[in-house]
Amino acid sequence: MSDDVNATIRSLATGVKAASVEMAKASSAVKDAALLAMAEAIEADAAILKAENALDLAAGRAAGLSDALLDRLTLTDARIAGMADGLRQVAALPDPVGAIMSGWTRPNGLRIAKVRVPLGVVVIIYESRPNVTADAAALCIKSGNGVILRGGKEAIRSNVAIWKGLGRGLAAAGLPADAIGLVETTDRAAIGVLCTADDLVDVIIPRGGEGLIRYVVQNATVPVIKHYKGTCHVYVDAAADLEMAERICLNAKCQRPGVCNAMETMLVHEAVAEDFLPRMLARFQEAGVEIRGCERTRQIVPDGVVVATEADWPEEYLDLILAVRVVGSTDEAIRHIATHGSGHTEAIVTTDVREADRFTQGVDSAAVFVNASTRFTDGFEFGLGAEIGISTDKLHARGPMGIEELTTYKFVVHGDGQLRE
Amino acid sequence: MSDDVNATIRSLATGVKAASVEMAKASSAVKDAALLAMAEAIEADAAILKAENALDLAAGRAAGLSDALLDRLTLTDARIAGMADGLRQVAALPDPVGAIMSGWTRPNGLRIAKVRVPLGVVVIIYESRPNVTADAAALCIKSGNGVILRGGKEAIRSNVAIWKGLGRGLAAAGLPADAIGLVETTDRAAIGVLCTADDLVDVIIPRGGEGLIRYVVQNATVPVIKHYKGTCHVYVDAAADLEMAERICLNAKCQRPGVCNAMETMLVHEAVAEDFLPRMLARFQEAGVEIRGCERTRQIVPDGVVVATEADWPEEYLDLILAVRVVGSTDEAIRHIATHGSGHTEAIVTTDVREADRFTQGVDSAAVFVNASTRFTDGFEFGLGAEIGISTDKLHARGPMGIEELTTYKFVVHGDGQLRE
The answer to whether B368 faces chain A, any CB pair under 8 Å, is: yes
Model confidence at B385, in pLDDT bands (50, 70, 90)? confident
Q: What is the pLDDT of residue A229?
A: 87
Mean pLDDT for the stretch of residues A355-367: 97
Residues in B closer than 8 angstroms to A360, CB to CB, are 412
Q: What is the pLDDT of residue A1?
A: 53
Mean pLDDT for the stretch of residues A180-197: 95
Question: Which among B224, B373, B420 has the least Cβ separation from residue A418?
Answer: B373
Look over chain A and give the mean of its residue pLDDT values, rounded to a whole number. 96
Minimal CA–CA distance to A223: which of B224, B160, B420, B185? Answer: B224
Nearest CA-CA distance, residue A55 and chain B, Å? 35
Nearest CA-CA distance, residue A94 and chain B, Å? 17
CB within 8 Å of A12: residues ≥ 6 apart: A148, A181, A183
**Sign (positive/negative) of CA torsion A394, B402, B404, A402?**
negative
Mark yes or no for CB contact A413/B218 under 8 Å: no
Question: Which among B117, B366, B372 has the least Cβ separation from residue A415?
Answer: B372
Longest distance between any two alpha carbons in chain A, whole Å? 80
Entry pTM: 0.93
Nearest CA-CA distance, residue A138 and chain B, Å? 21
Minimal CA–CA distance to B218: which of A201, A221, A216? Answer: A221
Count of Cβ atoms closer than 10 Å to residue A286 Cβ: 10
Chain A, 11-50: which have a CB under 8 Å from a chain B CB?
Answer: 21, 24-25
Q: Which of A363-372, B158-167, B201-210, B333-342 has the lowest mean pLDDT?
A: B201-210
At position B260, the amino acid (one-letter code) is C
Residues in A closer than 8 angstroms to B143, CB to CB, are none
pLDDT at position B88 over 60: yes
Distance between CA atoms of residues B37 and B87, nearest Å:
9
Q: What is the pLDDT of residue B1?
A: 53
Mean pLDDT for the stretch of residues B257-279: 97
Q: What is the pLDDT of residue A2?
A: 65
Mark yes or no for CB contact B410/A364 under 8 Å: yes
Distance between CA atoms of residues B274 and B271, nearest Å:
7
Q: Are residues B373 and A96 in contact, defined by beta-carbon separation less than 8 angstroms?
A: no
Mean pLDDT for the stretch of residues A281-303: 97
ipTM: 0.94
Look over chain B and give the mean of its residue pLDDT values, rounded to a whole number. 96
Q: What is the pLDDT of residue A68?
A: 86
**Sign (positive/negative) of CA torsion B324, B327, B330, B332?**
negative
The answer to whether B366 faces chain A, any CB pair under 8 Å, is: yes
Q: How far is CA B40 from the centre of its chain?
A: 26
Q: What is the pLDDT of residue B211?
A: 87
Chain B, 227-256: which have a CB under 8 Å from a chain A CB?
Answer: 241, 244, 247-248, 251, 255-256
Q: What is the pLDDT of residue A369?
A: 98
Of the two residues A35 and A207, the one the predictor is more confident about is A35
The answer to whether A211 faces chain B, any CB pair under 8 Å, is: no
The answer to whether B338 faces chain A, any CB pair under 8 Å, is: yes
Q: Are residues B365 and B341 in contact, defined by beta-carbon separation less than 8 angstroms?
A: yes
Question: Which among A104, A119, A410 has the least Cβ separation from residue B368?
Answer: A410
Mark yes or no for CB contact B373/A412 under 8 Å: no
The runs of H, that is alpha helices, within B45-188 are: 46-62, 67-73, 77-92, 131-142, 156-172
Distances (CA, A) of B17 to B14, B31, B97, B158, B289: 5, 17, 18, 24, 48
pLDDT at position A3 over 90: no
Q: What is the pLDDT of residue B210?
A: 82
Mark yes or no for CB contact B112/A409 under 8 Å: no
Q: What is the pLDDT of residue B374?
A: 98
Q: What is the pLDDT of residue B228?
A: 79
Mark yes or no for CB contact A367/B221 under 8 Å: no
- Chain segment A322-340, per-residue pLDDT in tens: 999 999 999 999 999 999 9
Mark yes or no for CB contact B419/A373 under 8 Å: yes
Mark yes or no for CB contact A223/B223 under 8 Å: yes
pLDDT at position A47 over 60: yes
Relative to beta strand A111-118, strand A407-418 is antiparallel
Name the closest residue on chain A to residue B353, using Cα atoms.
Answer: A414
Mean pLDDT for the stretch of residues B381-403: 92
Residues in A closer than 8 angstroms to B365, CB to CB, are 410
Helices (H) and strands (E) in chain B, counts: 15, 16
Residues in B closer than 8 angstroms to A409, CB to CB, are 398
Nearest CA-CA distance, residue A360 and chain B, Å? 7
Q: What is the pLDDT of residue B384?
A: 87
Question: Which among A223, A398, A419 has the least Cβ separation from residue B393?
Answer: A223
Q: What is the pLDDT of residue B315?
A: 96
Distances (CA, A) of B80 to A14, B41, B87, B137, B421: 50, 11, 11, 15, 62
Q: Which of A201-205, B74-78, B210-214 has the lowest mean pLDDT?
A: B210-214
The answer to whether A99 faces chain B, any CB pair under 8 Å, is: no
Q: Which helix (H) or strand (E) holds B323?
A: strand B321-327
Distance between CA atoms of residues B223 and B393, nearest Å:
11
Mark yes or no for CB contact A375/B420 under 8 Å: yes
Mark yes or no for CB contact B420/A365 under 8 Å: no
Name the closest residue on chain A to residue B21, using Cα atoms.
Answer: A362
Q: Are residues B400 and A228 in contact, defined by beta-carbon separation less than 8 angstroms?
A: no
Name the closest residue on chain B to residue A98, using Cα atoms.
Answer: B361
Q: What is the pLDDT of residue B387?
A: 87
Residues in B closer than 8 angstroms to A414, CB to CB, are 356, 369-372
CA-based end-to-end distance of chain B? 53
The percent of residues in chain B predicted with pLDDT above 90, rounded, is 92
Print the SS3 string covering B337-354: HHHHCCCCEEEEECCCHH
Mark yes or no for CB contact A398/B409 under 8 Å: yes
Model confidence at B209, in pLDDT bands (50, 70, 90)? confident
Question: Which among B110, B255, B338 has the least Cβ separation from residue A420?
Answer: B255
At position A417, the amino acid (one-letter code) is G
Name the closest residue on chain B to residue A418, using Cα atoms.
Answer: B372
Mark yes or no for CB contact A383/B255 under 8 Å: no
pLDDT at position B84 over 60: yes
Q: What is the pLDDT of residue B2?
A: 65
In order of their start, the domains of chain A are 3-228+396-414 (3.40.605.10), 232-381 (3.40.309.10)
At position B364, the amino acid (one-letter code) is D
Q: What is the pLDDT of residue B68?
A: 86
Residues in B closer than 8 angstroms to A362, CB to CB, are 25
pLDDT at position A386 over 90: no
